[in-house]
Amino acid sequence: MNIPNTELLRRFDVPGPRYTSYPTADRFVEAFGAADHAQALALRRAGPAALAQPLSLYVHLPFCESLCYFCACNKIITRHHERAAEYLRYLESEIGLHTLQLGRGQPVSQLHLGGGTPTFLSDAELRHLMDMLRRNFRLQDGGEFSIEIDPRTVDGARLRAVADMGFNRISFGVQDFDAEVQKAVHRIQPEEMVTGLMEEARAVGFASVNVDLIYGLPRQTPGSFARTLEKVTRLRPDRVALYGYAHLPERFKPQRRIHSADMPMPADKLTMLALSLEALQDAGYVYVGMDHFALPGDALAVAKRQGRLHRNFQGYSTQPDCDLIGLGVSAIGRVGASYSQNAKTLEEYYDHLDQGRLPVARGLTLTRDDLVRRAVIMALMCQGQVVFESIEAAWLLDFRSYFAAELARLREFEDMGLLEIGDAGIEVTAQGWYLVRAIAMVFDRYLQADRDRAKFSRII
């Protein structure tokens, strides 16, 4: 099955970016602000992209009722559900400011609600949010409209309500079915709860149901995680997202509640990954790339086979590479040759909007070199290959000369059987596809320059 052996996995068990963007978000600067983002929006409206490409929307809903100790997301823990109504009022203001720059009725082919816990909002509040979006944007027929769901916050009736709102893809946060692991991370959700919701989701008819799993959590063992994998493959979700837990308590305060003595040994974590790769492929899942698996008939697996895979801040996507508008506290967007991120605290986010400004706190305008390297990195991450001629034609450069140092470094990967360098380009092998982050890192000019990788999660 061309799965890397544990020795190879161990060799690449190093920190590195996930490349949902290039340059990565840690390179954003505060010198980029609301005026820069407004200019990027105005340029889109005036340019051909406004006619040729639909938008992608991401809405960040930060509230959660309880704290999961492993979580590194930007969230607000509260049981005061009335806070959602105030947040929606500010979201409406932010949407209005974007519409002012873009014009009303811009087509949208992809929408994702993340958090936090989007289902912290009531059905009425979620409907109100969808109405706001539809008044300002045109959600296209056949688009991908997805929402993250905490199984502890919904039942069958809520799933049907979500479908009636127009969502056709849902993602359940499962992480692990083991009761001891759930206790250690403060997230108790019995297996029966998820099983019942999966049955309901199938009855409702969502186009795709995803399940999130995490390996490397406290009190996990290879044996316990193998049992979770067996249960998940029996449930047969359309997609599985398998993430390695990044234990960074110095950066993420909730993780300080996890006892170090409960953490699995690095060798056990690698074993869990190897077991997962084997179990999911044995169950018929296609390895899409970078933690993502899908059944062969799922749109993501089809896009992988047909070379139509794309990548944005939400991960792999079937949608064409398009501008992304990030709405809500801490949301990240991409418009043209720029990235932007909203203020990370509610106080700052609300303050910007109270003053009638887009709530952008930082961002980046990409240089020509950034754009060239982004094209190479995304080709590797999505297609598993780089065709020299296509990069040369698009950017008027000689690939072998421009990337001479990078090609020299890649010879080591070639010797390990992870890729092949030919006259026409670079081709990632079946085994190399599992380690594509490490290959992409070679082209990351910022990473190669400072070598400060401790801020990233580990590749494995």
Query: Are 1-22+367-460 and 23-325 in the same CATH fold?
Result: no
Rounded Cα distance, 190 and 213, in Å: 15
Strands 310-312 and 315-317: antiparallel
Residue type, 363: G
HSE-up (13 A, CA, CB side) for residue 142: 4
Closest CA to 170 of 237, 233, 231, 215: 237
Query: According to DSSP H, which parts of 81-172 are helical?
Result: 83-102, 123-136, 156-164
Binding-site positions for [4Fe-4S] cluster read 64, 68, 71
Domain boundaries, the chain: 1-22+367-460, 23-325
Please report how the helices 83-102 and 346-354 are oriented relative to each other, as an axis angle in degrees rounded to 10: 50
Binding-site positions for S-adenosyl-L-methionine read 58, 70-72, 115-117, 148, 175, 187, 212, 246, 332
Task: Write out the H or E segment, with its range, that includes residue 57.
Answer: strand 55-61
Binding-site positions read 58, 64, 68, 70-72, 115-117, 148, 175, 187, 212, 246, 332
Rounded Cα distance, 290 and 162, in Å: 28
Asked if the 23-325 domain carries CATH number 2.60.40.3500, the reply is no
Task: Write out the H or E segment, with its range, that includes residue 382.
Answer: helix 368-383
Rounded Cα distance, 166 and 130, in Å: 8
Rounded Cα distance, 106 and 99, in Å: 8
pLDDT at 239: 97
- Tens place of pLDDT for every residue, the chain, 460 residues? 567 777 777 788 777 888 889 999 999 999 999 999 999 999 999 877 555 689 999 999 999 999 999 988 889 999 999 999 999 999 999 999 999 999 999 999 999 999 999 999 999 999 999 999 999 999 999 899 999 999 999 999 999 999 999 999 999 999 999 999 999 999 999 999 999 999 999 999 999 999 999 999 999 999 999 999 999 999 999 999 999 898 888 888 899 999 989 999 988 998 998 899 999 999 999 999 878 999 999 999 999 999 888 888 878 888 777 899 999 999 999 999 999 999 999 999 999 999 999 999 999 999 999 999 999 999 999 999 999 999 999 999 999 999 999 999 999 999 999 999 999 999 999 889 888 999 999 999 998 776 555 556 666 6
- Output the pTM of the full model: 0.92
For the structural domain made of 1-22+367-460, what CATH number should be given? Answer: 1.10.10.920
State CA 206 to chain mean position distance.
20
Q: Would you give the end-to-end CA distance of the chain in angstroms?
A: 18
Q: For residue 312, list its beta bridge partners.
A: 315
Structure tokens at 404: 């001479």
> CA geometry: angle at 360 spanning 136 and 446, to 5°?
120
Give residue 167's region: left, alpha or beta (phi > 0; psi -120 to 50).
beta
Q: Is 363 exposed, middle or buried (0-12, 13-18, 19+ CB in 10 A)?
A: buried
Rounded Cα distance, 422 and 254, in Å: 47
The 3-state DSSP class for residue 302 equals helix
